[in-house]
Amino acid sequence: MKKEQFYDYESRLSRPINVKIPELQTGERLRHVIFADQFTRGILERVTRTADRIRTVHKSKDGCRFLRELLPHIKAMLYFTQPSTRTFLSFMSACQLLGVSCAEVRDPKTSSESKRESPIDSMRMFSSYFDIVIMRSNQPQFAECCAYLMNDLGETSRRSVPIINAGAGADEHPTQALLDIYTIQRALTFDHPKDSSKWTWFEELRQTEPGLRRGIGGKKIGFCGDVRRGRTVRSLSRLLTLYDDMSMYFVSPPHPKLRIAPEMKSLLIDRKAEVREFSTFDDPCGSSSVIENLDVLYMTRLQREHNSPEDEADFANLDFNPYRLTSKLVARMKPYAAILHPFPRDEEFGEIPTSIDADPRAFYFRQARNGMWVRAALLAYLFDVDSQIADYYEKYTAETKDYNTGVL
């Protein structure tokens, strides 16, 4: 977007986030989804509960039909000018679950921008035909601008639709943080049939770890790899401070361009998290080593495509080997620990070798599928049909005889 077009928004874009957030919602209720920081503990619980209900209800064909009848009046625009098959397909299948019609623009060359149309005009066009715009752009803050544009239109009684930020450059990617939280929560509830090997697993675990409790609070979360530049690490770690007594261990090369940023560290500490930095998984931690302490390990790709030539020179002598997970390391992890990765993983570097994929602690493929469920739940929330899902779920679980827990 050209400078001139920001004229209306420039001053708004530079405000602190706590001033911005109220503008993106109606009271407590989210209208646009632009920042991970918009998610409160209450919203996280509401959306993840809906996600659980959707996946349960979806097990039956009637349930599928019920879901597909929820939003037949909604048309979604998937505007993905920055390529991302994973996020794109995840949103698309979330829409399909709820009967939302989708249209896509993925190649900016097919768009009117070739006729010198402004991105703002393109966005108003999308909002003319569609009821929500889910967008991924390589222009940082473009989704935020679009949200302000929609607000301005709404204020003058013109057509205005919600905007979902599906990732913008190295910037925010709020729904990734949402699916990460959802995956961690499911892993640490210890009772989902797909997330654990047995129904009584929690009791079993308590034999050896009597202090273990269900849920995210009080857990030790490790982040490994590019912990400074990876937006997923930044978003997720901030969200985790919504839970009590969190410990966050950052395992990264001890280089100022790769270690967690000091201001990020301070922010987490201010929010009451215990924050520690390590160079390897073998570094001592408590009575053992880092790897043995973790409840969750969030691996990331070393984003070499973001390296400047200067970075390449700086990093030439670093040993990146410790930031590859190995089967040996995994064997030392807690039996219930969950390994996550925002994907795609780097086939060449191999931060998670495929030999680990079959380990029950490998949660990264389930994590992808969780993305679909939680994005469907977010859409249900935004269009206010999540209470209908709750009602159907109650009826469904009451009727389903082979169903013996309320937790699913």
Pick the piece of the chain touching a second copy (CB under 8 A) from 104-112, 209-217, 308-316, 324-332. 104-112
Q: How far apart are CA 143 and CA 343, in angstroms?
A: 22
CA distances from 158 to 10, 128, 151, 204, 252 (A): 22, 10, 10, 58, 49
Told to check if 158 binds a second copy by CB under 8 A, we report yes
Torsion angle, CA of 341/104/165/188, rounded to 10 degrees? Answer: -30
3 binds a second copy (CB under 8 A): no
Which member of 138, 212, 345, 356 binds a second copy (CB under 8 A)? 345
Spell out, one character per residue from 267 to 306, where the chain touches a second copy: x when CB under 8 A holds, - when not.
Answer: ----------------------------------x---x-
Q: CA–CA separation, 185 vs 240, rounded Å?
A: 11
**Of the candidates 200, 266, 327, 354, which one interacts with a second copy according to CB under 8 A?**
354
Structure tokens at 333: 């992890």
Minimum distance of a second copy from residue 300's CB (angstroms) = 12
Task: Name residue 217's beta-bridge partners.
Answer: none
β-sheet bridge partners, residue 133: 77, 163
Distance in Å, CB of 218 to a second copy, minimum: 29
Q: Is 12 in the site for a second copy (CB under 8 A)?
A: no
The DSSP letter of residue 74 is -
From the list 10, 13, 17, 85, which residue makes contact with a second copy (rule: CB under 8 A)?
85
Residue 170 in contact with a second copy, rule: CB under 8 A: no
Residue whose pair of structure tokens reads 């405000």 in the numeric block: 15
With both helix axes pointing from N to C terminus, report the angle between 119-129 and 142-155 in degrees, rounded to the nearest 10: 60
**x-or-dash string of contact with a second copy, 36-75, rule CB under 8 A:** ----------------------x--x--xx--xx--xx-x
User: Residue 391 interacts with a second copy (CB under 8 A)?
Assistant: no
Is residue 136 within 8 A of residue 163, CB to CB? The reply is no
| CA–CA distance, 232 with 364 (Å, rounded to integer) | 14
- Identity of the amino acid at 42: G
Stretch that binds a second copy, among 115-123, 201-209, 236-244, 268-276 (CB under 8 A): 115-123
The rounded distance, in Å, linking the Cα atoms of 86 and 175 is 12
Q: What is the smallest separation between the CB atom of 364 and a second copy, expressed in angstroms?
A: 9
Q: CA 149 → CA 111, 123, 146, distances in Å? A: 20, 9, 5
Q: How far is the CB of 375 from a second copy (least distance, A)?
A: 10
Chain residues in the site for a second copy (CB under 8 A): 2, 58, 61, 64-65, 68-69, 72-73, 75, 77, 83-86, 89-90, 92-93, 96-97, 101, 103, 105-107, 109-112, 114-118, 120-122, 124-126, 128-130, 156, 158-159, 301, 305, 343-349, 354, 358, 365, 368-369, 372
